[in-house]
Amino acid sequence: MTQRAGKTPSLPVTRRTVLKGAGAAALMAGLPAVATAQSGVTRSHGLSSFGELALPPDFEAFPHVNLDAPKGGTLSFQPGSFLFNQNPQTFNTLNGFVLRGDAPPRIEITFDSLMKTTGDEPDAVYGLLAEWVEFSDDRLTYDFKIRSEARFHDGSPVLASDVAWSIQTLQEEGHPQLANLLVDVAAVELPADDVVRVVFRPTRSRNAHLNVVGVPIFKADWFDGKEFGASTLDPIMSSGAYRVGDFEAGRVIRYERVPDYWGRDLPVNRGQHNFDSIRIPFFRDQDVAFEAFKAGETNVREEFSSRIWATEYTFPAVTSGEILRTEDMIDGRPSGAQGFFFNTRLEKFSDPKVREALGLLFDFEWSNDRLFFGLYDRTQSMFENSPFKAEGMPSPEELALLEPFRDQLPEAVFGEPYVPPVSDRSGADRTLQREANRLLNEAGWTLEDGRRVNSDGEQFVIEFLLRGALFERIVNPYIQNLERLGISASLRTVDGAQFQSRLRTFDFDITVRRYSFTLTPGASLRTIIGSASANEEGAWNIAGIADPALDALIEQAGQAEARDELYIIMRAMDRILRSGHYWVPQWFKPNHWMAHQTSIGFPETKPRFALPIESHWWMEEA
């Protein structure tokens, strides 16, 4: 295997014999796989957490794609989601898989992975670089057969050694979020020239194999003499359906469709990758981005501003029918926890009573009436819009999970889950203010001469850290309520690069964040709410959540053997999170607000758990 000079891998890559074992393969219920002639091994065309594959081995294409979609044209849009070190406002590196720098969203589409998700099943994946996978009865050893036709963009073959090197390097040097997802990998081996073997630790999370099959695969020798974690504006050699085209750092990037892409006719790719190019411009202000859409600089827009959605889509292109709007694209994913997140590493936010008090001073009902045109629902749960949301009193099954930690948990965990109270819609609810005052006093923050101070006479000071001006109109009324109780509050709006840097090092008081969860969470929970990530630079756990009871439930969630069992564990987890008041819940909507030029086409039905604009949509008139 090609390695960088001076690098000693911690994961052994060897050429060993193929899997051996005794006994027939015990197939998981519903898994359309077959036992191979070799005992103790099951071969399959796909994987999932619980063996739920909807597509047979001979499937033609993913559901909800248009096999007759025309090819051509340019999609110009701003992605509504981003990963790892990606920044939606600017970029200064094309390495989107490390901690350093700010990368452009969707750089991942230039890379292939071992397997690919449909977006229409909770967690199922099907072979892309991997022609098939064989796994042992104990689910600790997985062999992936690499397709002989797989090619990098320079025409060289994608080797099993490239796959092994990629997994190994990302575990050791990748972005912390990626490295944490690969923590269950014990070894990567090469039992044959075209086979990669991944061996997991006996304590592996249930979906550890799904984390491995989704990582980008690099050409190992491209990094000879280069530092993997460095920022670079040289496109990294990749093998995906798109490659980096022209770009201007911080302003715009274009991904070009690879005309001779090796995998274009695979079932996992048919009817997809229809645009000749995907152009992503960068704007520091959402109002400017909207003006660019009105002017035709972008041709698809997912709207995240209720004000713009309710009042601004009256320009000529809309009234003439050149731009169409739709708001009935259902988002089947958990809506997640969008809200104002506290940095609990700071002493002033360490007491849950303080955090609860501050939450009472955000008047959602007033904001929804006056600012959001009544378009949102209040978020209550970290796992809103999902079967993970706790309701009512704990079930006996939930209590059985929580009881071992009763001495460590607040009594509220064992009752009705916390729900933010409904205000009188005045913007300054006196009843809620009195309750917030009581909680602050109990926590040692008292009023002296109109100032909220601690026992040392230091005033309670809060700074809201924002990226862009979109939230300023929402934060300012919140600040007024905080000041009514003697808290000195302010907001600071910074550019995208500074925002990323400050979050990366936890240099903030309160900031806005939205987490999205899959329907089969596992090891990823460690990176968001696990103690191990609470102080890890660049981690998703920006609140600094560190609770032994949560840690134990995270591990149990990773070992759940059935969906119903997972749901119970997640509901117990939700009760703990809500009692901890780690964030002030904001709002959600269970659908996508979309606007697009009439030249853009898309399938009649979208995947339930994805909005694959760049892969499933097309240009009607290229």
Q: What is the CATH number of the domain that holds 294?
A: 3.40.190.10
Residues 376, 385 contacting (CB under 8 angstroms)? no
Q: Is the pLDDT of residue 24 over 50?
A: no
pLDDT of residue 387: 93
In this prediction, residues 567-576 reach a mean pLDDT of: 97
Angle at 82 between CA 50 and CA 260, to 5 degrees: 80
Q: Is the pLDDT of residue 18 over 50?
A: no
Residues 274, 264 contacting (CB under 8 angstroms)? no
Label residues 288-326 b or e (16+ Cβ within 10 Å = b). Answer: ebbebbbeeebbbbbbebbbbbeebbeeebeeeeebeee
Give the pLDDT confidence of 104-122 residue by residue, as tens digits: 999 999 999 999 999 999 9
Q: Is the pLDDT of residue 22 over 60?
A: no
Torsion of CA 553, 554, 560, 566, to 10 degrees: 80
pLDDT of residue 521: 87
Residue type, 4: R
In this prediction, residues 448-468 reach a mean pLDDT of: 96
pLDDT of residue 184: 94
What does the DSSP 8-state code read for residue 10?
S
Lowest mean pLDDT among 210-219, 284-293, 573-582: 284-293
- 74-76 sheet: strands from edge to edge: 74-76, 277-281, 252-257, 242-248
Q: Is the domain of 383 the same as that of 316?
A: no
Residues 594, 329 contacting (CB under 8 angstroms)? yes
* 553 lies in some domain: yes
Domain that holds residue 473: 338-588
Give the pLDDT confidence of 34-73 residue by residue, as tens digits: 444 445 899 999 999 988 899 999 999 999 999 999 999 9
In this prediction, residues 136-150 reach a mean pLDDT of: 97
Q: Is the domain of 559 the same as that of 608?
A: no
Q: Is the domain of 295 the same as that of 364?
A: no
pLDDT of residue 206: 87
Q: Is the domain of 471 the same as that of 569?
A: yes
Q: What is the CATH number of the domain that holds 496?
A: 3.10.105.10
Q: How far apart are CA 142 and CA 210, in angstroms?
A: 11
In this prediction, residues 387-404 reach a mean pLDDT of: 97
Q: Is 481 helix (H, G, I), strand (E, B) or coil?
A: helix
Q: Write out the two tokens for 335.
A: 């809506």
In this prediction, residues 127-134 reach a mean pLDDT of: 98
What residues does 75 pair with on adjacent strands?
278
pLDDT of residue 7: 36
Give the pLDDT confidence of 180-216 residue by residue, as tens digits: 899 999 999 999 999 999 999 998 988 899 999 999 9
Lowest mean pLDDT among 38-52, 336-350, 448-462, 493-507: 38-52
Q: Is the domain of 426 the same as that of 469?
A: yes
How many domains in the chain? 2
Q: Is the domain of 417 the same as that of 552?
A: yes
In this prediction, residues 364-392 reach a mean pLDDT of: 95
pLDDT of residue 497: 85
Q: Is 588 exposed, middle or buried (0-12, 13-18, 19+ CB in 10 A)?
A: buried
Q: Is the domain of 443 the same as that of 559?
A: yes
Q: Is the pLDDT of residue 32 over 50?
A: no
Query: For tokens 């069992």, what's the residue?
Result: 565
Q: Is the domain of 527 the same as that of 445?
A: yes
Angle at 87 between CA 85 and CA 89, to 5 degrees: 165
Q: Is the pLDDT of residue 532 over 70?
A: yes
* 86 lies in some domain: no
Q: How far apart are CA 154 and CA 147, in angstroms?
A: 17
In this prediction, residues 169-180 reach a mean pLDDT of: 94
In this prediction, residues 582-611 reach a mean pLDDT of: 94
Q: How confident is the model at residue 549 (pLDDT cuts 50, 70, 90)?
A: very high
In this prediction, residues 408-423 reach a mean pLDDT of: 97
* 233 lies in some domain: no
Q: How far apart are CA 523 and CA 530, in angstroms?
A: 9
- Residue scoring higher pLDDT (148 or 336): 148
Q: Is the domain of 455 the same as that of 354?
A: yes
CA 165 to chain centre: 24
Q: How confident is the model at residue 590 (pLDDT cuts 50, 70, 90)?
A: confident
> Quick count: other Cβ atoms within 10 Å of Cβ 15?
14
pLDDT of residue 570: 96
* 187 lies in some domain: no
pLDDT of residue 40: 86
pTM assigned to the model: 0.86
> Quick count: other Cβ atoms within 10 Å of Cβ 604?
6
Return mean pLDDT, the chain. 91
Q: Which of 538, 491, 419, 453 is nearest to 178 (CA)?
A: 538
Q: Ramachandran region of residue 531, left (φ > 0), alpha (ψ -120 to 50) or beta?
A: alpha
pLDDT of residue 582: 98
What residues does 546 pair with on adjacent strands?
none
Q: Is the pLDDT of residue 14 over 70?
A: no
Percent of the chain surpassing pLDDT 90: 83
Residues 504, 537 contacting (CB under 8 angstroms)? yes
Q: How far apart are CA 398 and CA 556, in angstroms?
A: 12
> Quick count: other Cβ atoms within 10 Å of Cβ 10?
9
DSSP per residue over 253-283, as a string?
EEEEE-TT-TTTTSTTTTT----SEEEEE--
